[in-house]
Structure 1
Amino acid sequence: MKDKTKNLAIKKLIRIGFLNLAILSADAQNISVPNIDFNFNWNFKLENNTNIKWKKVNLPHDWSVEASFDKINGEGATGYLPGGIGWYKKNFNLKPNKNQTIYILFDGIYNNSQLWLNDKKLGEHPYGYSPFYYDLSSYLNSNGANEIKVKVDRSRYADSRWYTGSGIYRNVELITKNNLHIPIWGTYITTPKVSTQESTVHLEVKVKNNFNKEEAFEIITIFLDVNGKKVAEQSSKGKLASKKEDKFSINASISKPKLWDVENPNLYTAETRIVQNGKTVDVHQTKFGIRTIKFDANTGFYLNGKNMKIKGVCLHHDAGLVGAAVPKDVWKRRFEKLKEAGVNAIRISHNPGSDEFITLCDEMGIMVQEEFFDEWDNPKDKRLNMKEKSVDYITRGYTEHFQEWAERDLKNTMLAHRNHPSIIQWSIGNEIEWTYERNAQATGFFNNMDWSGNYFWSLPPNSIEKIKEKLETLPREKYDIGVTAKKLAKWTKEMDTTRYVIANCILPSSSYESGYANALDMIGYSYRRVIYDYGHENYPNLPIMGTENVAQWHEWKAIMERPFVAGTFLWTGIDYLGESNKRWPKKGTDSGILDYAGFEKPSYHMMKSLWNEAPELYIATQNKDKSIYKTDPQTGKVVEKKIGAWEKALWIWHDVNEHWEYKQGEETIVEIYSNCDEVELFLNERSLGKKKLSDFEDHIYKWAVPFEAGKLSATGTKSGKIITSELVTPSQAYSIQLTTDKTTLENDGYAVAHIVAQIVDKNNNPVQTLNSEISFTVNGNLKVLGIDNGAVDNVQDFQSNKIVLTKGRCLFIVQSKKEVPITATIKAQSKGLKSNTITITTKKNIN
Structure 2
Amino acid sequence: MKTLLAISLMACALFGPAVFAASDAPRERVSFDAGWKFIKGDTPYAGGSLDYERIKDWVLPTGDELLNQPPVRAPRRPRDPEREVKFAHVDFDDRSWRSVDLPHDWGIEAPFQQDLSGDTGKLPWFGVAWYRKTFTLPAEDAGRRIALELDGAMSYALVWCNGAFVGGWPYGYTSWRVDLTPHLKPGGSNVIAIRLDNPNWSSRWYPGGGLYRHTWLTKTAPVHVAPWGVFVTTPEVSAESALVDVAVTLANDTDARADVRVGVRLFAADPQGRAVGAPVASSEPRALRAVPGKAVKLAHTFRVAQPRRWSLRERHRYVAETTVLEGDRVIDRIETPFGIRTIAHTPNHGFLLNGERVPLRGVCNHHDLGALGSAINERALERQLEILQAMGGNAIRTSHNPPAPELLELCDRMGFLVMVEAFDCWQAGKTPDDYSRVFHDWHEKDLRAMIRRDRNHPCVIQWSIGNEIREQWEPDGWRLAAHLAGIVREEDRTRAVAAGFNAIVSGYNGFQSVVDLVGYNYKPAEYAKLRATHPQIVQQGAETASTISSRGEYFFPVSEDKAQGRADFQVSSYDLYTPPWATTPDTEWKAQDENPFVLGEFVWTGFDYLGEPTPYNADVTNLLNFSDAAGRAKMQQELDALGKIRVPSRSSYFGIIDLAGFPKDRFYLYQARWRPELPMAHILPHWNWPERVGQVTPVFVYSSGDEAELFLNGKSLGRQKRGPGEYRFRWNDVVYQPGELKVVTYKNGKPWADAVQRTTGAAAKLLAQPDRAALRADGRDLSFVTITVADRDGLLVPRSKNKLTFSITGPATIAAVDNGDATSFEPFQARERSAYNGLALVILRTKPGESGPITLRAESTGLAPIEVTLKSE
Q: State the TM bucket, normalised to the shorter chain.
A: 0.7 to 0.9
Q: What's the counterpart of residue 543 of structure 1?
A: 538
Residues 660-683 of structure 1 deviation map (CA, whole Å, 9 limit, x = unaligned): 876555542221011212222233
Give yes or no for contact 1:426–1:501 (8 Å, CA) kept in 2: yes
1:691-702 aligned at under 5 Å gives the runs 691-694=720-723, 697=726, 699-702=728-731
Task: Give the number of aligned pairs.
Answer: 725
1:195-210 aligned at under 5 Å gives the runs 195-210=238-253
Q: What's the counterpart of residue 408 of structure 1?
A: 445
Q: What's the counterpart of residue 423 of structure 1?
A: 460
Matched, 1:35 2:29: yes
Of residues 244-253 and 161-170 in structure 1, the stretch that sits farther from structure 2 once superposed is 244-253
Matched, 1:746 2:776: yes
Q: Which of the numbers 154, 170, 174 marks the counterpart of 1:130?
A: 174
Q: What's the counterpart of residue 611 of structure 1?
A: 674
Question: 1:722: how far off?
Answer: 2.3
SS at the partner of 1:603? helix
Amino acid at match of 2:444: E
1:453-602 aligned at under 5 Å gives the runs 471=475, 480-509=476-505, 513-550=508-545, 552-579=585-612, 580-581=617-618, 582=642, 583-602=646-665
Give yes or no for contact 1:620–1:658 (8 Å, CA) kept in 2: no
Q: 1:571 to 1:661 in 2, by over 3 A?
A: farther
Scaled by the length of structure 2, the TM-score of the pair is: 0.80
Scaled by the length of structure 1, the TM-score of the pair is: 0.82
Q: What's the counterpart of residue 270 of structure 1?
A: 320
Amino acid at match of 1:402: F
Question: 1:277: how far off?
Answer: 4.1
Give yes or no for contact 1:341–1:604 (8 Å, CA) kept in 2: yes
Q: RMSD in angstroms over aligned alpha carbons?
A: 2.3
Q: What's the counterpart of residue 312 of structure 1?
A: 362
Matched, 1:778 2:808: yes
Q: What's the counterpart of residue 674 of structure 1?
A: 703
Q: 1:696 to 1:763 in 2, by over 3 A?
A: farther
Of residues 420-429 and 245-254 in structure 1, the stretch that sits farther from structure 2 once superposed is 245-254
Give yes or no for contact 1:369–1:423 (8 Å, CA) kept in 2: yes
Counterpart-to-counterpart distance in 2, 1:364 and 1:58: 28
Q: What's the counterpart of residue 63 of structure 1?
A: 106
Q: Which of the numbers 266, 285, 293 marks the counterpart of 1:223?
A: 266
Counterpart-to-counterpart distance in 2, 1:742 and 1:32: 38
Of residues 230-239 and 145-154 in structure 1, the stretch that sits farther from structure 2 once superposed is 230-239
Q: What's the counterpart of residue 300 of structure 2?
A: 250
Counterpart-to-counterpart distance in 2, 1:768 and 1:836: 19
SS at the partner of 2:361? strand
Question: 1:738: how far off?
Answer: 0.8
Question: 1:781: how far off?
Answer: 3.3
Matched, 1:47 2:41: yes
Amino acid at match of 1:418: R
Higher relative contact order (CA 8 A, sep 6+): 2
Question: 1:692: how far off?
Answer: 1.6
Counterpart-to-counterpart distance in 2, 1:284 and 1:836: 50
Residues 752-799 of structure 1 deviation map (CA, whole Å, 9 limit, x = unaligned): 110110011122111121111111111123232211110111222111
Amino acid at match of 2:486: K
Amino acid at match of 2:239: T
Give yes or no for contact 2:851–2:872 (8 Å, CA) kept in 1: yes
Residues 55-92 of structure 1 deviation map (CA, whole Å, 9 limit, x = unaligned): 111111110111112121x1222111111111111111
SS at the partner of 1:259? coil
Question: 1:53: how far off?
Answer: 3.6
Q: Which of the numbers 353, 369, 374 marks the counterpart of 1:303?
A: 353
Give yes or no for contact 1:738–1:835 (8 Å, CA) kept in 2: no
Counterpart-to-counterpart distance in 1, 2:666 and 2:197: 38
Unaligned stretches of 5+ residues in structure 1: 1-27, 382-394, 440-470, 472-479, 622-655
Give yes or no for contact 2:42–2:130 (8 Å, CA) kept in 1: no
Counterpart-to-counterpart distance in 2, 1:660 and 1:40: 52
1:597-746 aligned at under 5 Å gives the runs 597-621=660-684, 656-657=685-686, 664-694=693-723, 697=726, 699-702=728-731, 704-719=733-748, 720=750, 722-746=752-776
Q: 1:558 to 1:513 in 2, by over 3 A?
A: closer
SS at the partner of 1:411? helix
Question: 1:747: how far off?
Answer: 1.4
Residues 572-607 of structure 1 deviation map (CA, whole Å, 9 limit, x = unaligned): 111111223344221122111011011111111111
Of residues 702-711 and 560-569 in structure 1, the stretch that sits farther from structure 2 once superposed is 702-711
Q: 1:830 to 1:413 in 2, by over 3 A?
A: same
Counterpart-to-counterpart distance in 2, 1:375 and 1:409: 13
Residues 215-273 of structure 1 deviation map (CA, whole Å, 9 limit, x = unaligned): 33332322122342332222332232452431110111111112111222222111222
Give yes or no for contact 1:525–1:548 (8 Å, CA) kept in 2: yes
Counterpart-to-counterpart distance in 1, 2:230 and 2:128: 36
Aligned-residue sequence identity (percent) comes to 32
Q: Which of the numbers 153, 170, 173 marks the counterpart of 2:213?
A: 170
Amino acid at match of 1:305: G
Give yes or no for contact 2:687–2:758 (8 Å, CA) kept in 1: no
Q: What's the counterpart of residue 153 of structure 1?
A: 197
Counterpart-to-counterpart distance in 1, 2:248 and 2:207: 35
Q: What's the counterpart of residue 792 of structure 2?
A: 762
Q: 1:817 to 1:184 in 2, by over 3 A?
A: farther
Matched, 1:398 2:412: no
Q: What's the counterpart of residue 443 of structure 1?
A: none
Q: 1:662 to 1:714 in 2, by over 3 A?
A: farther
Q: What's the counterpart of residue 801 of structure 1?
A: 831
Give yes or no for contact 2:708–2:729 (8 Å, CA) kept in 1: no
Counterpart-to-counterpart distance in 1, 2:407 and 2:690: 40
Residues 605-657 of structure 1 deviation map (CA, whole Å, 9 limit, x = unaligned): 11111111224443333xxxxxxxxxxxxxxxxxxxxxxxxxxxxxxxxxx44
Counterpart-to-counterpart distance in 2, 1:271 and 1:666: 69
Unaligned stretches of 5+ residues in structure 2: 1-21, 45-93, 271-275, 546-583, 619-641
Counterpart-to-counterpart distance in 2, 1:31 and 1:565: 48
Amino acid at match of 2:524: R
